[in-house]
Homo-oligomer: A and B are copies of this chain.
Amino acid sequence: MDIVVVGSVGLDTVETPFDRRGDVLGGAASYACAAASRFACTGLVGVVGEDFPAAADGCLRGFGIDLRGLERRAGRTFRWSGVYEDDCVNRRTLRTELGVFESFNPVLPSAYRSPKCLLLGNIGPELQLRVLEQVRDVPFVALDTMDLWIRTAADALHEVVGRVTLLTVNDAEARFLTGRHNLLDCADKLLAMGPRFVVIKKGEHGSLLFGAEGVRIIPAYPVRGLVDPTGAGDVFAGAALGFLAGGGCMGWDKLAEALLHGSVAASFAVEAFGLEGLAPLDRAAIDGRLRALRAMAV
């Protein structure tokens, strides 16, 4: 396996200013795997309930995602519902139903234990540590987290952050995690926690990559037909990791290039609900927008 992604697989009910969809296949791992699968052989570690629709299963398989790590258990699949404000950026969670995800205990199939890249999606840091115990010789481990874990599992969070190659957070989380406002200061404090690289995501404004090498400004691809921003950050990380796993070197310049691929993949993802925007996506489509994005950048 080139890349293994651990995280949530669920059914989302999403309301935007323009439309509403119920029980759309979602979850961080679904989005990240669908994007990563465009670049590299991708395995998913997650859990779904007995109500997980055959169509959703078929959708994941249609991306070519390896599902040996997707556990099916008695009970309900994880569900999330939320409503976006008029800006189609800020959102309010209406309801979260953990279902079988509540007792998720990630177990990696033997074929998943030495991937080139491992993406630890936003699950509890204790679970993320349990995943790290099951792998060996992984050249690149990326971690996504959120403010909830700072309040409920700060020690485990610090431990896992100290053991990864790349930490990705959004700007609000970076500020909450560090208690600083300036993003350069936030990045310094996050890098001091151990990861070699830190990416701070700013949604439509792009992202910033930080490391001992300095700072790189990663632009977002300007999207005209925004439909549903759900999962954009997961697609961004999944595509970037997939690109890294598909290539050779995993250094600074290559990571910046990978993140640019992530920006482009995310721009397709937000143009439709769920994984629909990613389904028709091939390398030619990605490379087309990549060239356009590079031409837009100064």
Encode contact with B along A64-92: 1 for CB under 8 Å, 0 otherwise. Answer: 00000000000000000000001110000
Encode contact with B along A218-245: 1 for CB under 8 Å, 0 otherwise. Answer: 1100111010000000000000000000
Bin chain A's interface residue count: 20 to 34
- The answer, yes or no, to whether A260 is at the interface (CB within 8 Å) is yes
Which B residues are CB-close (under 8 A) to A295? Answer: 214
- The answer, yes or no, to whether A216 is at the interface (CB within 8 Å) is yes
Which of B88, B184, B294 touches A222 (beta carbons < 8 Å)?
B184
Q: In whole angstroms, how far apart are the Cα atoms of A294 and B297 in the complex?
A: 10
Q: A205-B202, A219-B217, A219-B219 are in contact. Are A224 and B182 (CB under 8 A)?
A: yes
Which B residues are CB-close (under 8 A) to A182? Answer: 223-224, 226
- The answer, yes or no, to whether A181 is at the interface (CB within 8 Å) is yes
Which B residues are CB-close (under 8 A) to A257? Answer: 298
Encode contact with B along A197-219: 1 for CB under 8 Å, 0 otherwise. Answer: 00000100110100000111111
What are 14 of the A-B contact pairs (CB < 8 Å)? A182-B224, A182-B226, A184-B224, A202-B205, A205-B205, A205-B206, A214-B295, A215-B222, A215-B296, A216-B298, A217-B297, A218-B298, A219-B298, A256-B298
